[in-house]
Amino acid sequence: MANTVIHAGEVRYASSGRAMEKLDIVQAMLVGLGLAFQVGHFLEHALQFVVWILGKSQWVAANFCGRDTPFMSTLVAKAVSVAGAYLFPGADIARQMMMGMEILHLIGNGTFLATIAGVFYFIPTKMVRYAFYIEGAHLCEHIALTLSACYLGKPIGLSTLFGQAPVLWGRELAVGWRVSWHFAMNLLPMPFVMIALMRDWSTNPRAKIDLCKRT
């Protein structure tokens, strides 16, 4: 009888271990997708920053946009338009675009924060923790921007000088400040995550082999 109980316990333990291993594989895949998403997200902001810097060029203004408008790629602009129209069908186009942009940014940065948390699950180091703090602050900014845009009619936060940037600096510099701010905040956490991943893979090559075998 005792042997039967011990055997049953071992079976349950082994089954639980296999379930956790499968869960780890799924989580690792989600983290990988999240990191790939953030690379695309960062490239969008990088292009937006470059377009603003070069916005006085006639060729850039003709083919992208001028410095008084934050650049969005065709795919992102379409997503913003669809989201704004779906969530705020009774609003004018300007409000739909504003809210679509703020909400999609909120979702995107929430996704990156969750991804960093996933990285921390596998690599609980101070480098990943620093990235989490930076991105957490960035997400708080987007929460403020989204809520103020929704209820007060304009985005209010550090990246808009609490809604006063256009008044203080004019449209072009206000756009440049916001574009530069979010470019920097998207860039800052990434080296911390990258360094943590590179250190872990260089000091623990067995984990890389095991992950390849599992998948």
pTM of the model: 0.86
For the chain, what are the domain ranges? 2-214
- What is the block-wise mean pLDDT of the chain (215 residues), using blocks of 10 residues? 49 61 91 97 97 96 95 97 97 97 98 98 96 98 98 98 96 98 98 95 66 49
Radius of gyration of the CA atoms of the chain, in A: 22
What is the structure's pLDDT at 16?
A: 62
Pick from 211, 174, 148: nearest CA to 70: 174
What is the structure's pLDDT at 1?
A: 52
State pLDDT tens for residues 2-28.
Answer: 455 445 445 454 556 677 788 889 999
What is the structure's pLDDT at 22?
A: 87
Question: CA-to-CA distance for 117 and 42, rounded, in angstroms?
Answer: 18
Q: How many CB atoms lie within 10 A of CB 174?
A: 21
Pick from 119, 143, 144, 142: nearest CA to 130: 119
